Chains A and B, each alone.
Chain A
Amino acid sequence: QKEVEQDPGPLSVPEGAIVSLNCTYSNSAFQYFMWYRQYSRKGPELLMYTYSSGNKEDGRFTAQVDKSSKYISLFIRDSQPSDSATYLCASMNRDDKIIFGKGTRLHILP
């Protein structure tokens, strides 16, 4: 079992819809949780960074972490075609070594 599991998709939704991306993790020692966005042939871009459980909102993006169920979510409101990318969820304990999921490919249909 990989430490961070993520459905690779692809996930296609119409423009303007709310997108829900999810992943699970297995290592209880993870304390930091991240979402990165990666466009084709580009490096990952940090979108959201949270410590421990709870919600964090930044513009159209909301990240949720539930440590009791080891579940990480990212919600995108009012989705735009420019949101089409691969979204990588990631976790880390205090050793600075990020463990990534495989990424979910998202297509926003105009």
Chain B
Amino acid sequence: DTGVSQDPRHKITKRGQNVTFRCDPISEHNRLYWYRQTLGQGPEFLTYFQNEAQLEKSRLLSDRFSAERPKGSFSTLEIQRTEQGDSAMYLCASSPPAGSSEQYFGPGTRLTVT
């Protein structure tokens, strides 16, 4: 399968714990995006990378959130001291090098904070 992959698919954690999600983009896609989707809403942009550089962060991304893409391939999104309001689907998307702005999404990681 050559699509975007995300791991884990589901995560249940207790409030106050830290969680980390991983995204593997489509091979040779140099742009990688994180979005968050809550029930009944469309995805909302969180942040994006071009290669290893993080180019933009949404105001939705509080200080408890950090994303990395150290070698310009896979990316991780960490949430520290989780809150119940962090419960959502976290989606990763990737896009090929400049010339096409099409973004292809992975299956998402569903986070439940109890």
Which chain A residues have a beta carbon within 8 Å of chain B's beta carbons?
A: 4, 6, 8, 32, 34, 36, 41-46, 49, 88, 90, 92, 95-103
19 more CB-based (< 8 A) A-B contacts, given A97-B45, A100-B44, A101-B42: A4-B42, A8-B40, A32-B101, A34-B102, A41-B110, A43-B6, A43-B105, A44-B105, A46-B102, A88-B42, A88-B43, A90-B42, A96-B31, A96-B33, A96-B48, A96-B101, A98-B43, A98-B45, A100-B43
Could you say which residues of chain A place their CB within 8 Å of the CB of B45?
Answer: 97-99
Q: Say whether B106 faces chain A, with CB atoms less than 8 Å apart.
A: yes
Main secondary structure of the interface of B (DSSP, over half): strand
In the complex, what residue of chain A is closest to B42 when comparing beta carbons?
A100
Which chain B residues have a beta carbon within 8 Å of chain A's beta carbons?
A: 4, 6, 31, 33, 35, 40-45, 48, 56, 91, 95, 101-108, 110
9 closest pairs, A vs B, by CB? A100-B42, A43-B105, A43-B107, A44-B105, A97-B45, A43-B108, A49-B102, A100-B43, A88-B42
Q: A97 and B42: CB pair below 8 A?
A: no
Most buried by A among B6, B48, B101, B110: B101
